[in-house]
Structure 1
Amino acid sequence: MKKGTRLFKIRYIIFGFLGVALLASLVFMRFGGFGTGETANVEEFAEYAQPVENLFIPEDKKIIALGEATHGNVEFQQLKLEVFKQIVEQYDVRAFALEGDYGGCEQVNQYIHGGEGTAQEAAAAIGFAIYRTDEMAELISYMREYNESALEGEDIRFYGFDMQRISYTSQSLLEACTELKIDTTNLQKLVEGENLSGEYDFSAQTEVLTQVKNELENNSASNTTIHYVNMLLQYCELQSITESDGSALRDKFMAENVQWILQQEQQDGHERIFVTGHNSHVAKWGSFDSMGKLLSKQIENGYYVIGTDFYRTENNMPSGTSGKRANQVFYSYDPLAKASKMAGFDICWLDFSSIPDNSELYKSISQYTYMGTLGERYSWIMRILPPSYRMFQPPAVLYDSMIFVSDATPTIIVTE
C-alpha cells in the first residue's frame, strides 16, 4: 500500500470518528448524556410528595391505569398489588386488566375463582416471562383469597388485553365450540399452538374465524367466548402487517379490548376498572396513538393514569439475540426521580393536580423532561446512547400523577 493512500485512510478514520463524536455530543445535548442529570427543587418536591397509601382518584374516572417504567423490577410489580388493593377497597373496582395474553389471563381468572393448580402456575399461563415471578404469584394469591369470602357479584375478575399470544385463547375457543356442537374442522386446521397454520393467508384466516364468530352468535355464546374469536382476528391482522406498523395497531387493539372490559364490568354494575401495563402504553400522550392516548380521547375525562419512574434501576431483561436474561443498571435522568432520591424517599407518589401553578415544581412537571423507559430488550447501544432508553416528554402531559422508586431491584424469573 502506498504511503499517501495509507495516510488518506488514517485521516478518513480520524474524521469519521470525530464526526460520530460530534453527533453523539449533539444527541447528548438534546436528550441528556451520561450521569443522572439535573434535579427538581428538592424542598418543594418533599412538600408535595406523599406515601403511595395516600393515593387519591377523582370520582369521575372510569379507567384507572398504572404504568411501569420497566417490566423487570420488583417494585413496579409490587405496586400493582398495592395500588389495586386500595382501589378495590375505596373505589368499588373489581376488575384487574393486565398487558398480557387474553386467554392466559382467563386461566388466571378461573384460578382466582377456585380453579385447580397454584398461583405460580396461573402466573405462567399469562404468556410472558416477565410475569413468572413471586410478586405476580402474590398478587394472584391475594385475588383468590379475596374471592373466597366475597359476596355474590363482588368478586374480583382478572382480564388480559393483549393479543400477542394465542395458545390458551385458541384452546378455550375450541372447547367452547365443541360444547356448543359447532363444527371445528376448519378451526382446528387453522390453529396450531402459538401460531396459525401457514397454509392460510390473512384473508383465509379471517374468513374461517368470521364464520366461527357468526355461528357462536347464532348459538347465543357468551361474550367471553366471542371475544376469543376477536382476539384471534386481532392476532392475525397484527401478523399480517409490517413490524414498523405493528406498535400502533397493537395499541389500537389493546384500547378496544380495554373498552370491552369496561363494558363487561359496567353490565355487572361496576363503573370502574383497573388497567396496568408499560408506561409507553398507558400514557395519555406520545409520538404515536398509544392505548392510553386513544382511551383518554374516547373516555374524555374518564381516564386517569399514574406513571412511574426510577432514579436507579437494576433491571432484569433479555440480552442480545439469545434472549438470555441478565440484570442491567440504568439511571433515568429524570429531575423528579432525582429529587425524590435526594429527599430521602424510597417510594413516593406525586399528585400533579396538587402542585401550584406558580411553583418551581410545576415548571418541572410541565416542561420536557428525560424519563427512564425500559422494555423487554437490552442492547449495548443503550450504553453509548442513553436516549435509547429515555422518554423526552412533559410528565404532566403524559400522566395525572407519578410514583417514583429511588432504587429499583431486579425481578427473578421463577421458571423459563
Structure 2
Amino acid sequence: MLESIKKYAKPFDSINDLDPLIESIGDAKYVLLGESSHGTSEFYTLRAELTKRLIVEKGFSFIAVEGDWPSCQNINRYIKNIGSPNRNENEVLQTFNRWPTWMWANEEIYELVKWLKNFNQQSKKTNKVGFYGLDVYSLWESMDEIIKYLDRTGNSGLKEARTAFSCFEPYNRNNESYAVSAGYLSENCIKEALELLTVIRKNKWKYDDDDENSLNMEVNSLVTVNAEEYYRTMVLSDSKSWNMRDIHMVEALNAVMKFYGDDAKVIIWEHNTHVGDARATDMKNAGMVNVGQLIRQQNYPEDVYIVGFGTHSGTVIASTEWGVDYLVTNVPAAQPGSWEDLMHKAGARNQYLLFTDENREKFSKTVGHRAIGVVYRPEQEQYGNYVPSIMSSRYDGFIFVDKTHALHPLAKESLVH
C-alpha cells in the first residue's frame, strides 16, 4: 500500500493544484467533504476553497453542514439577504452559542460567510447559494422557531405546536432529562411530535414565501420528531441513536434538495465518520449506517463524490471532556501502520489521492484511519481513535495535510453564552 501511495498520490501547495480532483468530481450532484477533526484550520480552509470553486465553476446550489438548522439559518438568511438578517458576519456567528461553539464560530467560517454574501450579491441567479444545518440536536430551538412563526402569521398548526411544546416543557430544555425519562420510564412525546410534523406537512403550501418559511417549517418539524427519537434511544443504544442522527441528516438534506429543484447540487461538510461510507469500516459490523452510505444508496454512483481529509501530526482544538472549554492540543505522530502514517512515509508533504478503477484494488486492504472528535485525549488515542477502513471504498478521493494547525475560534467575548 505504501508503494501504491507513492505511485498515485500527487503533491499540492495550493487550491489550483487540485484541478484533477475538481475534474474527477465531474457532474456529481452530491460532493461530500470530510474532516478527521472538528478543530483543524487546514480542513476548513481547504474545504472552503474547494467549495468556492465548485460554486463558481460547477454551479453548486448550497452548502449543508454538520450544524444545527436554526443557527445555520442565520447564515443562510444573511448571505441571501432574507428578511431582516444580522448586520455583519460576527453577529451571524454569535448565534452559534451551543457547545462546541468553535465548530462554526471561527475565523475560517467568518471568511467563507463573507465570500458567500459577496457572491450572492453579484449573482444574477434567482436561487442564491444557501447554507443549511443538517444536525438533529436543536429540539428546543426548532420548536421555538415553529411557534414564533405560527404565532406571528396565524397559520395552521399553532395548536399542535403548543401541545408538543407543552409535552417537552417539563424537561427544562435539558436533553439528558428527556432522554432518561423517555428511554427508561417510557414517558415521551412521540405522539405530539408526530402530530406536529403531520400538520406542518399538510399545510406546507400555506407557509410558502420568499423567506423560505415552507422549508424552514418542514425541517424544524422534522428535527422535533427525529430529535425526540434520537434522545429517546441514546440512553439505550449507541448504534440506534447514531443511525437516527445520520438518517435525520439525510432526510433534512433531501428536503432542501427538493426545495431547490431537479438541478440542485450540494456540497456537504461533515466529519469523516459521517461522510466516509460506513460499509467500508467496522461500523458495518455494529449495524451502523452514515450519511455517505445513505446518499450513495439513494443515488446513482456518478452523482456522488466523497473526499476524506487527514493529517499526520500538528495541533487541534478539542476538549478533554464533553461540555468543557476547548484547548489547543498536540496531535501526535500517526500510529505506525495507519493510513496517515503510510501517507507521511510516502512523502512528508501535502498530497491528494484519487481512487479510480485503475487503483482501487491496490487500496482494498483494511487499515487504521484516525478520527478526532470534539472530545480528544491524545494519550489514549490508541484505544479508539483509529477506525478500521478500506480507504478506496470509503472515499473517492483523499486530501492529506502532513502537518496541521488548530482552528481559530472567534474571541470568546464576542460569543453569546
Please give the range of the TM-score, normalised by the shorter of the 2 chains.
Answer: 0.7 to 0.9
Query: Could you give the per-residue CA deviations for residues 337-382 of structure 1, whole angstroms, max 9, x where no partner exists?
Result: 445545656433211117547xxxx62x221122111111124xx5
- What displacement does 1:172 show? 2.3
| Contact persistence 2:168–2:189 (CA under 8 A) | no
| Contact persistence 1:163–1:234 (CA under 8 A) | yes
Question: Which of 269, 279, 282 is residue 276 of structure 1 equivalent to?
Answer: 269
Distance 1:356-1:247 versus aligned 2 partners, 3 A rule = closer
Distance 1:229-1:67 versus aligned 2 partners, 3 A rule = same
Question: Which of 135, 144, 149 is residue 171 of structure 1 equivalent to?
Answer: 144
Please give the residue correspondences for 1:29-178 in structure 2 after superposition, counting only pairs within 5 Å. 39-40=2-3, 43-45=6-8, 48-49=10-11, 51-56=17-22, 57-114=24-81, 115-126=85-96, 127=98, 128-129=100-101, 130-178=103-151
> Aligned residue for 1:8?
none
Please give the residue correspondences for 1:165-244 in structure 2 after superposition, counting only pairs within 5 Å. 165-182=138-155, 183-184=158-159, 185-190=162-167, 194-195=173-174, 201-206=188-193, 209-210=196-197, 212-213=199-200, 216-217=203-204, 219=206, 221=208, 222-241=214-233, 242-244=236-238
- What displacement does 1:152 show? 3.1
Does the alignment pair 1:328 with 2:330? yes
Write the letter of the residue equivalent to 1:181: G
Distance 1:266-1:342 versus aligned 2 partners, 3 A rule = same
Query: Could you give the per-residue CA deviations for residues 248-282 of structure 1, whole angstroms, max 9, x where no partner exists?
Result: 11111112222222222225xx3321111000101
Write the letter of the residue equivalent to 1:55: L
- What displacement does 1:91 show? 1.4
Higher mean C-alpha displacement, 88-97 vs 177-186: 177-186
- What displacement does 1:75 show? 0.6
Write the letter of the residue equivalent to 2:365: Q
Higher mean C-alpha displacement, 58-67 vs 194-203: 194-203
| Contact persistence 2:21–2:397 (CA under 8 A) | no
Kindly name which structure, 1 or 2, has the bigger radius of gyration based on alpha carbons. Answer: 1
Does the alignment pair 1:293 with 2:293? yes
CA distance in 1, matches of 2:357, 2:217: 44
CA distance in 1, matches of 2:261, 2:191: 35
Question: Which of 389, 394, 398 is residue 394 of structure 2 equivalent to?
Answer: 398
CA distance in 2, matches of 1:63, 1:337: 26
Question: Which of 335, 352, 355 is residue 352 of structure 1 equivalent to?
Answer: 355
Q: Secondary structure at the match of 2:375?
A: coil
| Contact persistence 1:108–1:125 (CA under 8 A) | no
| Contact persistence 2:371–2:385 (CA under 8 A) | yes
What is the root-mean-square deviation in Å for CA atoms of aligned residues?
A: 2.9
Write the letter of the residue equivalent to 2:250: A
Q: Secondary structure at the match of 1:144?
A: helix
Q: Secondary structure at the match of 2:134?
A: strand
Query: Could you give the per-residue CA deviations for residues 138-179 of structure 1, whole angstroms, max 9, x where no partner exists?
Result: 111111111111113252111111111235423321222123
Distance 1:378-1:392 versus aligned 2 partners, 3 A rule = same
Write the letter of the residue equivalent to 1:145: N
CA distance in 1, matches of 2:397, 2:5: 17
Greater strand share, 1 or 2? 1
CA distance in 1, matches of 2:5, 2:136: 42
Does the alignment pair 1:412 with 2:385? no
TM-score by length of 2: 0.79
CA distance in 1, matches of 2:384, 2:196: 39
Higher mean C-alpha displacement, 125-134 vs 248-257: 125-134
Question: What 5-or-longer segments of structure 1 have no aligned partner?
Answer: 1-37
- What displacement does 1:180 show? 3.0
TM-score by length of 1: 0.79
Question: Which of 243, 249, 252 is residue 248 of structure 1 equivalent to?
Answer: 243
> Aligned residue for 1:10?
none
Does the alignment pair 1:319 with 2:320? yes
| Contact persistence 1:332–1:370 (CA under 8 A) | no
| Contact persistence 1:101–1:166 (CA under 8 A) | no
- What displacement does 1:68 show? 0.5
- What displacement does 1:61 show? 1.9
CA distance in 2, matches of 1:264, 1:218: 12
Distance 1:167-1:104 versus aligned 2 partners, 3 A rule = farther
> Aligned residue for 1:6?
none
Question: What 5-or-longer segments of structure 2 have no aligned partner?
Answer: 182-186, 209-213
> Aligned residue for 1:22?
none
CA distance in 1, matches of 2:332, 2:167: 43
| Contact persistence 2:319–2:326 (CA under 8 A) | yes
Write the letter of the residue equivalent to 1:347: N
Query: Could you give the per-residue CA deviations for residues 24-79 of structure 1, whole angstroms, max 9, x where no partner exists?
Result: xxxxxxxxxxxxxx955564245x45533442244342211001011111011112
Distance 1:368-1:104 versus aligned 2 partners, 3 A rule = same
Please give the residue correspondences for 1:357-376 in structure 2 after superposition, counting only pairs within 5 Å. 363=362, 365-376=363-374
| Contact persistence 1:310–1:407 (CA under 8 A) | yes
> Aligned residue for 1:383?
379
CA distance in 2, matches of 1:43, 1:120: 43
